[in-house]
Amino acid sequence: MLRFWFAVPLWQRVVAALVLGVITGLLWGPEAESIKWIGDFFIKSIKMLVVPLIFVSIVGGIASIGDLRKLGAVGWRAMVLFVVTSQIAVWLGLALGTIFTPGVGLDTSAIAAGATPEPVATSAVDMILSMVPESPVKVMADAQVLPLIVFALLIGIGIVMAKEEGQPLVRVFDSGSIVMQKVTMIVMELTPFGVFSLMAWVAGTLGQDALVALAKLVVLNYLGCLLIIGVMYASIIKFLARLPVRHFFRGIIDAMAVAFSTASSNATLPVTLRCAERNLGVSRPTASFVVSLGATINMDGTAMYLGLATLFGAQIFGIHLGFSDYILISVLATLGSVGAAGIPGAGLIMMALVFGAVGVPLETIAFVAGVDRIMDMMRTATNVTGDSAVTTAVAVMTNEIDRAKMISADDV
């Protein structure tokens, strides 16, 4: 029995749990709340991972870049493009959530969302001061995300500046990042049980209205990703790289297909590299560096979704978010997407990060976990397309691309 359970892919088990949970909830009614504790256990497991995963991932990612001064023209151009596109993506998610309000109109008065802190008006000065951790240990213990990220960035930069003396720590954090990815995968095995119990509770308490709201979120997720791919990335290729958009998309179609089917940037990395070198004509050194860097820190689809999902949760539970909260979401969604491991389901961990910072109940995860795989497939395809677009643009700017090779690969 156990062998059969693990023989079925996790995403299929999660979808099956979603369907069974909805059916159970609709048949059982409000009494389905008696199994909600299983979902609470799942949510607490996710919260457990946020601090260590974010810390080791960000420190390891920064430290693995190496000597920042040696990155030269390729490095800073890639970093600027990754940051700019991530910011555009998260604000697009916020715009879609604000305009279409997928969570508005759902009566959640029957749901006790748990202890949720009331939003506090925060000035720009207070936000800046809150970024500096007075005690890194206290920050970790209290799961204060923004100062934790700042501290992790400083540690990563310090390791890079230490050069040879910092190499032992590079190996430590690389190993720590791998270990935390494995732990994340273990916790993800709890997802079917958590989704079943939470969806039974939600469907039993709220009925079909919850399913309508969920369908709106899925549609907006795909719409946002298609806008990022069809407008932002196409514009980068056409106006910044000055290359035919049709040739670009034909060159990376294999990588997009693998990303969509696996929902894993890491699993798609070899295919993305091959497409960049063989089909787009990018030089091997540039492709290896920028694509690998992008697979680590460029998660535009995830950033867009974190902004959208945060507003979805706020609308469901009637949490008012001001403009300062939007700014905080944009910062955390961008930095959180950097720390998102390139494995299926890691976006759920990042949700706990962003939700907790702006006071959105973590019960929101109950609404999205069941269909997260469906949305994650499109987000991953978006992330991989962004890696390829930025790699191509940087290669053009640094004269590290063979245009003739790109055209000939397209005609084959």
Q: pLDDT confidence of 207, banded at 50, 70, 90?
A: confident
Instruction: Strands of 47-152 (E only): list them.
Output: none
219-246 pLDDT tens trace:
999 999 999 999 999 999 999 999 999 9
* pLDDT of 61 strictly over 80: no
Q: What pLDDT is recorded for position 13? A: 83
129: nearest Cα among 142, 144, 140:
144
Q: How far is CA 245 from CA 87, 226, 353, 373, 407, in A?
A: 23, 15, 36, 29, 11
349: nearest Cα among 371, 369, 329, 367:
369
The two tokens of residue 324 are 């300062």
Q: What pLDDT is recorded for position 121? A: 47
Q: How far is CA 308 from CA 11, 301, 302, 367, in A?
A: 22, 11, 10, 13
331-340 pLDDT tens trace:
888 776 665 5
Give the contacts of 407 (CB within 8 A, at least 6 positions apart).
Answer: 244, 247
107-135 pLDDT tens trace:
666 555 544 444 444 555 666 777 788 88
- Percent of the chain scored above 70 by pLDDT? 84
* pLDDT of 383 strictly over 90: yes
Domain extents in the chain: 9-408
What number of helices (H) and strands (E) belong to the chain? 21, 0
Give the contacts of 151 (CB within 8 A, at least 6 positions apart).
Answer: 55, 133, 136, 139
6-58 pLDDT tens trace:
788 776 787 788 889 889 988 888 888 898 888 888 878 877 877 787 788 77
Q: pLDDT confidence of 342, banded at 50, 70, 90?
A: low
- Percent of the chain scored above 90 by pLDDT? 24
129-159 pLDDT tens trace:
777 888 888 888 877 767 887 888 788 888 8
* pLDDT of 249 strictly over 60: yes
Q: What is the DSSP string of 147-182?
A: HHHHHHHHHHHHHHHHGGGGHHHHHHHHHHHHHHHH
- 165 burial (CB, 10 Å; 0-12 / 13-18 / 19+) is exposed
Q: What pLDDT is recorded for position 301? A: 92
Q: 401 phi and psi, to 5 degrees?
A: -135, 145
For 63-77, what is the mean pLDDT?
65
Lowest-confidence segment of 87-91, 170-174, 207-211 by average pLDDT: 207-211
For the full predicted model, state whether its pTM sits above 0.85: no
Architecture of domain 9-408 in this structure = Orthogonal Bundle (1.10)
Q: pLDDT confidence of 3, banded at 50, 70, 90?
A: confident
